[in-house]
Amino acid sequence: MTTLVTVNTYAHSVTYVSDKMLKTLKDIIRSSGLSPEKMISEWDVLTRGIKKWLETQDLQHVHLEVYNPQTDKLIGRWDFEVFYGYSGDGSFWADSDAIAYHIKKAGFWPSSCDYRIVVITKPDRPDVDGWSGAVLRSTDGFVRQSIGTTIEGSGLSTGVGYWRKA
């Protein structure tokens, strides 16, 4: 007699990666000199959208845009690019040390700055309550610094980078 056991780890991967991504965004906001209160007040909407679009594999990027509210100009940005289907060793990990190092390297933002989280999804993705369309601010005059993969969830991972003034 043969017994076959199958475990669908993708649901665990979605939960792990979405939780780590949101925690990392909160850490970036807080450690860069801004208040995380706005993000915390939007936590349920952020979680609902990011988890849903990871489940359907429609989420492509998550961006943290920091901007001057008086001029509406970009001050800095962090990017999370989502990768699906990598055949890893089944491990779950997050490289918080790499993020912490690059937060220090990027420096503090003035406390008068505001921020928002913008996602890029595939066309025809399912709608999620609380989310609406947005256009990213221009990165003209900025250069992108790549950090590499910082979150791995058994085949679901994110590559991270940030933008700084050139």
Q: Judge whether residue 107 has pLDDT over 60.
A: yes
**131, part of any domain:** yes
Query: Which residues, 6 or more positions from 73, have their beta carbon under 8 angstroms from its beta carbon?
Result: 67, 137
Q: Is residue 5 part of a domain?
A: no
Kindly state the percentage of the chain with pLDDT values over 70: 93
Find, among 143, 134, 128, 109, the residue nearest to 45 by Cα: 128
Stretch 133-161: mean pLDDT, rounded? Answer: 95
Q: Would residue 63 be called left, alpha or beta, if left means φ above 0 and alpha means ψ between -120 and 50 degrees?
A: beta
Any domain includes 2: no
Q: What is the band of 2 on the pLDDT scale with cuts at 50, 70, 90?
A: low
How far out from the chain centre does Cα 25 lie? 6
The reply to whether 35 falls in a domain is yes
Do strands 142-153 and 74-84 pair parallel, antiparallel, or not at all (unpaired)?
Answer: unpaired
Average pLDDT over residues 43-54: 98
Higher pLDDT: 50 or 154? It is 50
Instruction: Kindly indicate the confidence band of residue 155, based on its pLDDT and cuts at 50, 70 and 90.
Output: confident
* Full residue range of the structural domain in which residue 130 is found: 10-165
Mean pLDDT of 85-108: 87
Amino acid at 141: G
- Asked whether 29 and 36 are in contact (CB, 8 A), the reply is yes
**Which CATH number characterizes residue 131's domain?**
3.30.900.10
- Taking all residues of the chain, what is their mean pLDDT, rounded to a whole number? 93
Q: Give the global pTM.
A: 0.92
Asked if residue 44 is part of any domain, the answer here is yes
Q: Is residue 158 part of a domain?
A: yes
User: pLDDT at residue 6 above 60?
Assistant: no
Range in 35-39, 58-62, 86-90 with the lowest mean pLDDT: 86-90
Q: What would the pLDDT profile of 67-77 be if each residue is shown by its tens digit?
A: 999 999 999 99
pLDDT confidence bin for 24, thresholds 50/70/90: very high
Number of domains the chain is built from: 1
